Amino acid sequence: MNKTKLFCNILGMGMFTVGLAQTPSDSLKVEQLDEVVVTDSKFQLKRENSGKVITKITSKDLEKLQGQSIAEIIGRTAGIEINGVRSNAGQNLSYFVRGGRNRQVLVLIDGIQVTDPSQIANDYDLRLLNADQVESVEILKGASSTLYGTGAATAVINIKLKEASKKAVNLNLKTVLGTNQTAKESDYAIEDFRNSVSLNGSLGDFNYLASFGHQYTDGLSAISNGTESDPFNSYNGNLKLGYKFSSNFKLNTYASFDNYKANFDDSFAMVDTDDVSESKQYRIGASPEFKYNNGSITVNAVYNDIERDIQSSYPSRYDAQSIVVDAYNRYTFNKKFYTVLGVNFQDNQMESFSIPFGETEFSQDIDPENAQFTITDPYANVVYVSDFGLNINAGARLNNHSEYGSHLVYSVNPSFKKDLSFGYIKGLASYSTAFITPSLYQLFEPAYGNADLEPEENQTIEVGAELLVEDIATVSLVYFNRNEDNFIDFVDLGNFVYQYSNVDTSFTASGLELIAQLKIAKNLNLNLNGTYTKVDEDLNLRIPEIKVNSRLDYQLCDATMLSLSYQYNDERNDSVYNSTTFMNDIVALKSYNLLDFYISHKVLKNTMTIFANLTNILNEDYQELYGFSTRGRGFNLGFNLNL
């Protein structure tokens, strides 16, 4: 099908939902007007007063997506392609948002930045996170460094972990068993095992939560022509303790560990090997909050320690530590002005080891005494909510980096909402800038590092509209245009010498994002999103030009819910190393369609739920990454017990 025609059809479906929305019914009830978003301002603001189109995945949404990883769930939202989620469970994940890369996506957990200073992209690995520990997710797209600093160039993914129950003791158990195989296999053996347990509750002013999760997945080789399977084994633990000292002061503390071990194969020769990647993450943190008249002071402080061990023909070890402190004051003037004044501090360091050619012992490559930098960023943000429909969100941040000095970013985001008899229509626009700090690896790796690197800079323009038909539908359409300067690339200097360098050329990515939520009937809901992305040739890696997601939910009865999901992913370009020319060749990956079915049934009200997923129903045979395995038709069955 012609791509232009296909996207026009997507837009047509969105407009069709608006047309259906013209006949309200008193028996229908949706809560869009009461939906609250936080990520674009650090305040709890009604969605209608936000100048951004924020994707919010609620706890109710997550209930309909049980049995999926958090990366799979996020990858079904508009504008986001998480590559690797349909491959072997241990496959590295790539985050492509609005033509960007991993280093341009910032992940927050409970409002605090999480990164891995030992990674080339300084990114957070979503494989470390257990979906059963997540309460909700907010996704803010566009340059957002004003509020969140480095890396917030194409998206901020704010993940809120579950909190303690109001009951004194609450026990939750979940088990999922499933298959794991390619489209060419047909044995459907149980190879995917996921279990989690959570004990939580509240005793007066004290609350607690302790959770543990485990996943073991086998049966699928990392490479498509492999004959030996490559298992993935992960453990997650989380402890949260909170105490409310008074009506004005409370303290939350937490500690967590996330470990995984993933077998993988030789991706250069594309042969089976017994290579292993291990990653261990340990986090401790505290978040005191003091409230006063019309305002509050919050401090989020966390220490993060990561250890990675690669056992292969090129064995290596990486250790990294980071300290992040985000302290900010929120103040509200007359319910119209919302202000945030804050300072964000980060201290990152890493070291690495490898075994030199001809030797048998590890030797230090990167010295943590050298591979360290600090960031100190004061920032300010203000939100104005008028009583005549005009809303303005604006802010600035001064980045102070120990290696390259100071850098200013800012954002301006006006919107105007017009109330209608059946809901509202809102127009929005924004201009925002962002920066991406060079990673410690890019700065200090002895063979490839470049201590003279400057930060990458992004500028994003957004223009869009959102229409809400109360009790019926919400439809939004946003155009974005993002420009990249000082792009950090791995540059060939000649004679097989490579180095990380800033590129003089500017790159551009632009596109359209359509989101539609429609209540077709009392028990039937449709969620639809479509994305069109146009990128410069140098950025065009594994990014589909057109991507469509839809989900139809049907509440059969009070106890039973059915869901049918569809995804279309356009053809993409991939890069593969040519051992003859010592260059990367560009290969085209064909488009594919995925159809999934989900059913859940409450056996005991508010106590036990059983659920099942049938994924890739049509057993589509495709490649997510060139040369690597991709899952075919799959089935899983699970139950959730809440006591």
Dump pLDDT digits (tens) for 215-243.
999 999 999 999 999 999 999 999 999 99
The answer to whether residue 67 scores a pLDDT higher than 90 is no
The two structure tokens encoding residue 210: 């302790």
Say how far apart CA 509 and CA 533 lie, in whole Å. 7
H helices of 268-381, in order, are none
Contact 633/619 with Cβ under 8 angstroms? yes
Say how far apart CA 594 and CA 92 lie, in whole Å. 21
Mean pLDDT of 14-25: 37
Mean pLDDT of 182-196: 93
Q: What is the pLDDT of residues 536-550, one digit of tens each?
A: 887 788 899 999 999
Helices and strands: H and E segment counts in the chain: 5, 36
Closest CA to 240 of 182, 198, 197: 198
The answer to whether residue 13 scores a pLDDT higher than 80 is no
Model confidence at 111, pLDDT cuts 50, 70, 90, reads confident
Say how far apart CA 134 and CA 162 lie, in whole Å. 5
Say how far apart CA 267 and CA 222 lie, in whole Å. 9
The answer to whether residue 30 scores a pLDDT higher than 70 is no
- Confidence at residue 249, expressed as pLDDT on a 0 to 100 scale: 96
The answer to whether residue 420 scores a pLDDT higher than 70 is yes
Question: Collapsing DSSP states into helix, strand and coil, what is residue 280?
Answer: strand
Say how far apart CA 126 and CA 447 lie, in whole Å. 29
Say how far apart CA 53 and CA 7 lie, in whole Å. 20
Closest CA to 236 of 84, 125, 310: 125
For the chain, the first-to-last Cα distance in angstroms comes to 51
CATH of 3-642, one of 2.40.170.20, 3.40.50.2000, 3.50.50.60, 3.20.20.120: 2.40.170.20
| Residue 215 CB neighbours (<10 A) | 22
Say how far apart CA 477 and CA 62 lie, in whole Å. 24
26 burial level (CB within 10 Å; 0-12, 13-18, 19+): exposed
Residues composing the chain: 643
Cβ burial 404-427 (10 Å sphere, 16+ → b, else e): beebebbbebbbbbeeeeebbebe
- Confidence at residue 262, expressed as pLDDT on a 0 to 100 scale: 95
The answer to whether residue 19 scores a pLDDT higher than 60 is no
Give me the amino acid identity at 252.
N
Kindly state the percentage of the chain with pLDDT values over 70: 95
- Confidence at residue 20, expressed as pLDDT on a 0 to 100 scale: 37
- Confidence at residue 493, expressed as pLDDT on a 0 to 100 scale: 82
Name the pTM for this structure: 0.90
Contact 354/316 with Cβ under 8 angstroms? yes
- Confidence at residue 91, expressed as pLDDT on a 0 to 100 scale: 92
The answer to whether residue 128 scores a pLDDT higher than 90 is no
Q: For the residues of 549-611, what is the DSSP string, one character each?
A: EEEEEEE-SSSEEEEEEEEEE--EEEEEEETTTTEEEEEEEPPEEEEEEEEEEEEETTTEEEE
The answer to whether residue 366 scores a pLDDT higher than 90 is yes
Say how far apart CA 128 and CA 471 lie, in whole Å. 38
Mean pLDDT of 356-371: 90
The two structure tokens encoding residue 427: 């127009």
Q: What is the pLDDT of residues 492-535, one digit of tens each?
A: 887 778 899 999 999 999 999 999 999 999 899 999 999 999 99
- Confidence at residue 29, expressed as pLDDT on a 0 to 100 scale: 36
Say how far apart CA 483 and CA 426 lie, in whole Å. 26
Cβ burial 373-382 (10 Å sphere, 16+ → b, else e): bebbbebbbb
Instruction: Please report the beta strands in 155-311, taking only residues with DSSP state E, as ranges in sequence order.
Output: 155-161, 170-179, 190-203, 206-217, 232-244, 249-266, 271-292, 295-311
> Worst-scoring range by mean pLDDT, 14-18, 502-506, 610-614?
14-18
Q: What is the pLDDT of residues 389-418, one digit of tens each?
A: 999 999 999 999 998 889 999 999 999 999
- Confidence at residue 89, expressed as pLDDT on a 0 to 100 scale: 92
- Confidence at residue 5, expressed as pLDDT on a 0 to 100 scale: 44
Non-local (6+) Cβ contacts of 226 within 8 A are: 265, 271, 272, 629
The answer to whether residue 26 scores a pLDDT higher than 60 is no
- Confidence at residue 52, expressed as pLDDT on a 0 to 100 scale: 87
